[in-house]
């Protein structure tokens, strides 16, 4: 059987979809699993051993290219598709391509038309983790095929090829002995932000520890917040803004001894590479780590900090209308620093 799994939005969302590939292929080794992702996210799946082929989709695909893609999908002969996120135009294309069983969340009125194996999940309420929601959709397909005995993985896993492993080794060698710490201050608008000055404080104090090197990471839209952080940094802290393409960035992250950041894609990348992570999350239900926290195949490698307040928001942060805004300021730099040092442990000589 040939199955297509689609996730065409952000990097972190795709990371939390990776276990779907593993569960489907583990349960049914004879199945041919294909992935459809956004063009910029291909490095996340290009080495995944559970996949037979990768397809690309973007929302602004020209009509001629969309027609060619639809015809190619139809010729491929997929028996089922699992849409872990509903996209109307893509769902219509998959239906027009003749894919008989179309699984996904019934999240929009049109999803009831295009998904004949849809499932009500109410993800926007924040009750449940994104990875678990994705696996629910995959397991419905497996149940219909009589496959129910495979366990869920502990978390996503990213795979590197030989060239990336060499990049990782070269980066580690260049830094010498000691610990490498990555701090990513930008959230891309996906969560409430911690103050740039506090990221800088943590970076400076960790860099002052003997045997520890600290790097500030970011790309593109993160330039503004990285510049704010950089204005308060000691010379010992290195800024890596836009220094690596995504493929090489994955390699570099894989040799990190700790990644600190808010709810953002790189936090999930680091966790899926097995690196220890320290996430800074708001208490809002739809932004909470219970909903979006990183998960890792490596047990015990993720830790999250959340301000200890009684958040009044039901779904969206009330921002200035809330008496606790910005509640992220309740997380003191000293708290994050203590947690980071606890995770890192002593520097090995």
Domain ranges of the chain: 2-144, 163-344
The least confident of 18-27, 123-132, 164-173, 242-251 is: 123-132
Residue 79 to residues 3, 69, 177, 196, 291, Cα–Cα distance (Å) = 6, 17, 52, 49, 31
pLDDT in tens, 267-317: 999 999 999 999 999 998 888 999 999 999 988 899 999 999 887 777 777
The pLDDT assigned to 82 comes to 98
Mean pLDDT of 319-330: 80
Cβ-contact 244, 253 below 8 angstroms: no
Q: How far apart are the first and last CA of the chain?
A: 53
The pLDDT assigned to 174 comes to 96
The pLDDT assigned to 325 comes to 77
The least confident of 21-30, 63-72, 188-197, 313-322 is: 313-322
Whether the per-residue pLDDT at 318 is higher than 90: the answer is: no
For the sheet with 238-239, list strands across it: 238-239, 212-216, 179-183, 258-262, 277-280, 302-305
Instruction: Indicate the fold that domain 2-144 takes in CATH.
Output: Rossmann fold (3.40.50)
The pLDDT assigned to 349 comes to 66
Mean pLDDT of all residues in the chain?
94
* Adjacent-strand bridge partners of 82: 5, 103
Mean pLDDT of 236-262: 97
Q: What whole-number distance in Å separates Cα of residue 261 and Cα of residue 72?
A: 40
Mean pLDDT of 172-187: 94
Residue with tokens 């700790």: 258
Residue 101 to residues 56, 105, 297, Cα–Cα distance (Å) = 20, 13, 30
Mean pLDDT of 50-59: 97
CATH 1.10.520.10: does it fit domain 163-344?
A: no
pLDDT in tens, 76-122: 999 999 999 999 999 999 999 999 999 999 999 999 999 999 999 98
**Domains 2-144 and 163-344 agree in fold:** yes
* Adjacent-strand bridge partners of 181: 214, 258
Mean pLDDT of 48-67: 96
């Amino acid at each position: 059987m040939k199955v297509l799994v689609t996730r065409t939005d952000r990097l972190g969302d795709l990371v939390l979809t990776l276990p779907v590939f593993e569960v489907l292929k583990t349960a049914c080794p004879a199945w041919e699993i294909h992935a459809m992702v956004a063009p910029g996210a291909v490095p996340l799946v290009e080495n995944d051993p559970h996949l037979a082929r990768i397809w690309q989709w973007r929302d602004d695909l020209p009509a001629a290219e969309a027609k060619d893609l639809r015809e190619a999908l139809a010729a491929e002969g997929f028996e089922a598709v699992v849409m872990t996120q509903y996209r109307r135009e893509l769902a219509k294309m998959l239906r027009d391509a003749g894919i008989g069983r179309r699984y996904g969340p019934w999240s929009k009125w049109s999803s009831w038309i295009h998904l004949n194996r849809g499932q009500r999940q109410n993800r926007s309420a924040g009750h449940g983790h994104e990875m678990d929601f994705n696996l629910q959709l995959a397991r419905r397909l497996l149940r219909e095929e009589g496959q129910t005995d495979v366990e869920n993985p502990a978390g996503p896993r990213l795979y590197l090829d030989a060239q990336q492993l060499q990049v990782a080794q070269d980066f580690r060698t260049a830094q010498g002995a000691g610990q490498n710490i990555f701090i990513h201050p930008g959230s891309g608008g996906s969560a409430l932000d911690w103050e740039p000055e506090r990221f800088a404080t943590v970076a400076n104090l960790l860099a002052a520890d003997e045997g520890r090197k600290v790097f500030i990471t970011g790309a593109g839209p993160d330039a503004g917040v990285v510049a704010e952080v950089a204005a308060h940094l000691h010379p010992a802290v290195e800024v890596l803004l836009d220094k690596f393409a995504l493929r090489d960035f994955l390699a570099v992250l894989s040799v990190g001894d700790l990644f600190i950041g808010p709810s953002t894609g790189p936090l999930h990348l680091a966790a899926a590479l097995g690196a220890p992570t320290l996430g800074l999350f708001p208490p809002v239900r739809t932004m909470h780590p219970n909903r979006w926290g990183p998960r890792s195949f490596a047990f015990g490698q993720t830790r999250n900090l959340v301000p200890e307040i009684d958040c009044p928001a039901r779904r969206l942060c009330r921002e200035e209308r809330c008496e606790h805004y910005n509640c992220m300021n309740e997380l003191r730099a000293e708290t994050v620093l203590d947690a980071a040092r606890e995770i890192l442990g002593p520097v090995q000589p």
